Chain A
Amino acid sequence: MNAAIDIHHIEKSFGRVKALDGLDLSVEPGTVHGFLGPNGAGKSTTIRILLGLLRADAGQARLFGGDPWADAVALHRRLAYVPGDVVLWPNLTGGEAIDLFTRLRGGADPARRDELCQRFDLDPSKKGRTYSKGNRQKVALIAALAADVELLLLDEPTAGLDPLMEAVFQECIREAKESGRTVLLSSHVLAQVEVLADRISIIRQGRIVETGSLTDLRHLTRTTVDAVTDRPADTLAGLPGVHGLEAADGHVRFEVDGDHLAAVVRRLGDLDVHALTVRPPTLEQLLLRHYGDQAVHSGATVAA
């Protein structure tokens, strides 16, 4: 089957800033693809090129096999987009904006729209200017999820949502996947993408540095473990995949590689654990460890 999104080596510069520097990305139909990268890495730029809003300087981007710049309108009827920073018309209500967007995309089932408004707890009769960031994001999400489209392009869609609404969002994305839709989900938070994505691509300075399934990427991630044990835990230091172990007064703290987690937890159980805190890996840790410090702070490169 053809890829829903297929990007080959695209480049894009804004003046002297090189936003994309030979980016490759491929998304299979019917999958949720996590598009992960720090701020300024080029996620939004990539999505805008896929939408035909920006034109790539070099390389090739394909959406459903078509050219996103030349066939923009025909392709847009098959997708829905949620921008990273949703701006609404100040004097149109949220409900009007939702209806407008779904109609411009070819219409949506009103019952589905109302159901989504309820699930996201959105009052559609408020004027655009009175919504908070999170509520503006809900408006765009509802408009996108209500439409009957094949592909969802979501640019950091949960940045302004509270945890409760993020759970609703995750539910909706799972439903979308069950009904066979393809989702490109960009984020700078690893944990948000991890729970939903079948595959993840990590972008850094305008390039994809890692791509694969979660299991493929396990070797890149490290989980932080804090534990209080009755028996001394120093012995864990010798296990494969354990790093930076510190132990004192029955308190132990260490990091463990994703693909060795199971073995280490089994050994930890034998040590009579009283208290246990496990912190999931973060994107920042990952990038810091594998690509050095500047990856996190400076997204794009400035040409000399």
Chain B
Amino acid sequence: MTTTALSRPTTTPRPRGATLAGTGTLLRFMLRRDRFRLPAWTLGLALLMTYFATALDSMVSSPSDLEGLTAFTGSPAGALFGGPGFGFDDLTVERFLAGQYGLYVAIGAGLMGLLTVVRHTRAEERSGRAELVRANAVGRHAQLTAALILTVVMSVVIAVLIGAVMADRGYDTAGSLLFGASVGAVGLAFAGIAAVTVQLSEYPRAASGTAGALLGAAFVLRGLGDMAAVQGSGPSWLSWLSPIGWSQQTAPYVLDRWWPLALSLAFAAAATAVAYTLSGRRDLGAGLLPPRPGPPRAAAWLAGPFTLALRLHRANLIGWSAALIAAGLAYGSFTQPLIDGFADAPDDMVAVMGGRDNMLAGYLGVMALTMALAVAVYAVLAAHLLRTEETDGRTEPVLATGVSRPAWLGGHVAVVAAGVPWLLLVAGLGMGIGTAASTGDAGLAGDVLLGHLAFTPAVWLVLSAAALLYAAVPRWLPVIWVAPAWGLVAGYFAPVLDLPGSLVRLSPFEHIGRYPLERISVVAILVLTLLTGVLTWTAVTVFQRRDVTGGS
């Protein structure tokens, strides 16, 4: 009992790693907190890869089936949503898996990396728990370091699991390991990016939002670069500006080169170094930018549930508008090079995009769907804002005033519902202007705009379903992510995965019609709008029946 006291040194020399003190303890604690989350992410991504592989195996029974795949994936549109297509002229199943589906597993790894870092750093600071932790013998950099180590562990686990899954299917072992490593590398790169973004803002959502936007930018950059690479002209170097691009440039099962991953590692290391520097310059809980005073009085218009909701969603709507117009301009300006790339393509290849005469319309239709899915993601995130308002305790005092529950919920839903056609309009404008400039045909802009706006009721339906989930069982709100996720699978992969039509039709996005390639279905628009009305009405009614929980 007393020996411990005796053995304590009388003067404590300042240990060299003082800023890292407690990292090990924190890491163990994080592992314990993430005991379900860690296996869910890592096994989930490995399972997704297994699913893709099994689905593809069941489809491809002969070399001619593989040739059919080449037609789509070798095209610029295939490059945009897949990759640069290494070795697709001599296609094998594993090359197709790595070259076309690898992208989505890599995006998943990127999301995992950035969300993990935000969860264990800025989110902890915001909640005030970090203050409790740091008051103990814990160094200034311990929390960030432990979070990064945790993310490295998760990335390595993913790399090994995916490598093992692929090797186990009988694909080349070296290629499989490289493929796994390239997926894990994306996780590391975006952990690095998130380590920086968490230093900038006080809000976890802003930190993950910024990092997520950069993930989107990385996707777009490599998409443009890969399209250029596939058609042999244009700025193919754009792919080299993207952390996802570096992973794809390893060309597993084809060139099997490891060196692009050195770029990923160097990037992650550099970002981490920046993060440590920034973190040393700021106070706990604070962002890098000092808070500014605001108006001491509320503007006259800020006076009711609708305007309050507008004020709360305003910043997000502005951010999304900027991102969507930029993405629209980028993809729109690629229209002509894309068509040119197809000029000499064989007929069966062209048929996939709707035939030689419909190439242009096919591309514009796919882009309208893509933007609609992006706006659906906005709507789902906005619905989550509602739930945060309640769990943080800000809904309670508002409902304690003269604001009724239907007015509160209705105000939020109305603002987001109005934001949906607005964002589609903005995206369509960007895409339309880009297309008109690129093709020299100004008349296309109107078609593009119409094609985008037509998806409004499909996104509305997702929004109203989210509102209903929130109103009835708020804990289950995250389930709504199934809607945009299924919209993506059904929209892009239905032909490749050979999904039955009944499953495809479950996605509200499959009923509208991809204008200008297909006709817009007025019936679908009416039915989806009607359904939206019914779901919203149900949500408002159900919301009057349950307890509203406070923050404490």
A binds B: yes
- Stretch touching chain A among B4-12, B90-98, B307-315: B307-315
- Chain B residues with CB under 8 A of A91: 294, 315
Decide: B550 and A95 in contact? CB cutoff 8 A. Answer: no
- Chain B residues with CB under 8 A of A76: 399-403
A85-B552 contact given A127-B293, A129-B291, CB 8 Å threshold: yes
CB nearest to A53 among chain B residues: B548
Q: Does B81 contact A (CB under 8 A)?
A: no
Q: How far is the CA of A79 from the CA of B398 in the complex (A)?
A: 13
Decide: A51 and B547 in contact? CB cutoff 8 A. Answer: no
Q: Which of A59-108 contact B (CB under 8 A)?
A: 72-73, 76-77, 79, 81, 83-93, 95-101, 103-106
Decide: A103 and B298 in contact? CB cutoff 8 A. Answer: yes
Q: Which of A93-132 contact B (CB under 8 A)?
A: 93, 95-101, 103-106, 123-127, 129-130
Q: Does B170 contact A (CB under 8 A)?
A: no
B294, B297, B311, B398: which contacts A104 (Cβ < 8 A)? B398
A95-B297 contact given A54-B547, A73-B402, A104-B401, CB 8 Å threshold: yes
Q: Does B392 contact A (CB under 8 A)?
A: yes
Decide: A127 and B551 in contact? CB cutoff 8 A. Answer: no
Minimum C-beta distance from A41 to chain B (A): 14
Q: How far is the CA of A210 from the CA of B404 in the complex (A)?
A: 35
A51-B400 contact given A44-B552, A85-B551, A87-B392, CB 8 Å threshold: yes
- Chain B residues with CB under 8 A of A99: 297-298, 302
Q: How far is the CA of A93 from the CA of B299 in the complex (A)?
A: 11
Q: Does A48 contact B (CB under 8 A)?
A: yes
- Chain A residues with CB under 8 A of B311: 92
Decide: B394 and A125 in contact? CB cutoff 8 A. Answer: no
Q: How far is the CA of A81 from the CA of B550 in the complex (A)?
A: 13
Q: Does B304 contact A (CB under 8 A)?
A: yes
Question: Using an 8 Å CB-CB cutoff, how does the interface string of B176-217 with A read, 1 for contact, 0 for none?
Answer: 000000000000000000000000001100000000000000
Q: Which of B495-549 contact A (CB under 8 A)?
A: 547-548
A96, A103, A123: which contacts B295 (Cβ < 8 A)? A96
Decide: A124 and B550 in contact? CB cutoff 8 A. Answer: no
CB nearest to A70 among chain B residues: B544
Q: How far is the CA of A91 from the CA of B405 in the complex (A)?
A: 23
Minimum C-beta distance from B251 to chain A (A): 46
Counting chain B CB atoms within 10 Å of each CB, which of A73, A76, A104, A125 scores highest? A104
Q: Does B124 contact A (CB under 8 A)?
A: no
- Chain A residues with CB under 8 A of B295: 93, 95-96, 125
- Chain A residues with CB under 8 A of B202: 90, 129
Q: Does B232 contact A (CB under 8 A)?
A: no
Minimum C-beta distance from A35 to chain B (A): 16
A83-B291 contact given A55-B547, A90-B203, A129-B202, CB 8 Å threshold: no
Minimum C-beta distance from B179 to chain A (A): 43
CB nearest to B203 among chain A residues: A90
- Chain B residues with CB under 8 A of A287: none
Q: How far is the CA of A104 from the CA of B404 in the complex (A)?
A: 10
Counting chain A CB atoms within 10 Å of each CB, which of B298, B398, B405 scores highest? B298
Q: Does A228 contact B (CB under 8 A)?
A: no
Decide: A53 and B291 in contact? CB cutoff 8 A. Answer: no
- Chain B residues with CB under 8 A of A85: 393, 550-552
Q: How far is the CA of A77 from the CA of B552 in the complex (A)?
A: 24
Q: How far is the CA of A86 from the CA of B393 in the complex (A)?
A: 8
Decide: A106 and B293 in contact? CB cutoff 8 A. Answer: no
Q: Does B67 contact A (CB under 8 A)?
A: no
Decide: A53 and B547 in contact? CB cutoff 8 A. Answer: yes
Per DSSP, chain B at the interface is loop
Q: How far is the CA of A267 from the CA of B311 in the complex (A)?
A: 67
Minimum C-beta distance from B333 to chain A (A): 35
Q: Does B15 contact A (CB under 8 A)?
A: no
Q: Does B397 contact A (CB under 8 A)?
A: yes
Q: Does A173 contact B (CB under 8 A)?
A: no
CB nearest to B291 among chain A residues: A130
Q: How far is the CA of A44 from the CA of B400 in the complex (A)?
A: 13
Q: Does A193 contact B (CB under 8 A)?
A: no
Q: Which of A161-203 contact B (CB under 8 A)?
A: none
Q: Does B132 contact A (CB under 8 A)?
A: no
Q: Does B318 contact A (CB under 8 A)?
A: no
Q: How far is the CA of A125 from the CA of B298 in the complex (A)?
A: 10
Minimum C-beta distance from B95 to chain A (A): 49
- Chain B residues with CB under 8 A of A106: 402
Decide: B552 and A84 in contact? CB cutoff 8 A. Answer: yes
A96-B298 contact given A73-B404, A89-B394, A103-B303, CB 8 Å threshold: yes
CB nearest to A72 among chain B residues: B404
Minimum C-beta distance from A15 to chain B (A): 12
Decide: A83 and B304 in contact? CB cutoff 8 A. Answer: no
Q: Does A140 contact B (CB under 8 A)?
A: yes
Decide: A93 and B296 in contact? CB cutoff 8 A. Answer: yes
Q: How far is the CA of A54 from the CA of B405 in the complex (A)?
A: 13
Q: Does B396 contact A (CB under 8 A)?
A: yes
Decide: B552 and A104 in contact? CB cutoff 8 A. Answer: no
Decide: B297 and A140 in contact? CB cutoff 8 A. Answer: no
- Chain B residues with CB under 8 A of A130: 291
Decide: B550 and A96 in contact? CB cutoff 8 A. Answer: no
Minimum C-beta distance from A38 to chain B (A): 15
- Chain A residues with CB under 8 A of B551: 83, 85, 87
Minimum C-beta distance from B143 to chain A (A): 20
Question: Using an 8 Å CB-CB cutoff, how does the interface string of B312-341 with A read, 1 for contact, 0 for none?
Answer: 100100000000000000000000000000
Decide: A96 and B547 in contact? CB cutoff 8 A. Answer: no
CB nearest to A147 among chain B residues: B401
A87-B401 contact given A54-B548, A103-B303, A129-B202, CB 8 Å threshold: no
Minimum C-beta distance from B213 to chain A (A): 19
CB nearest to B548 among chain A residues: A53
Q: How far is the CA of A172 from the CA of B392 in the complex (A)?
A: 29
- Chain B residues with CB under 8 A of A55: 547
A124-B552 contact given A51-B399, A53-B396, A89-B394, CB 8 Å threshold: no
B203, B294, B396, B547: which contacts A125 (Cβ < 8 A)? B294
Pairs A–B under 8 Å by Cβ, sample size 6: A51-B396, A52-B399, A100-B308, A123-B296, A124-B296, A126-B293
Kindly list the 4 A-B residue pairs having the minimum CB-CB distance in the complex, ordered from nearest. Answer: A99-B298, A104-B401, A95-B296, A85-B552
- Extra contacts, 15 of them, besides A83-B400, A104-B305 (Cβ < 8 A), are A51-B399, A53-B396, A54-B548, A55-B547, A84-B552, A85-B550, A85-B551, A90-B202, A90-B203, A96-B297, A96-B298, A123-B293, A125-B293, A126-B293, A153-B400
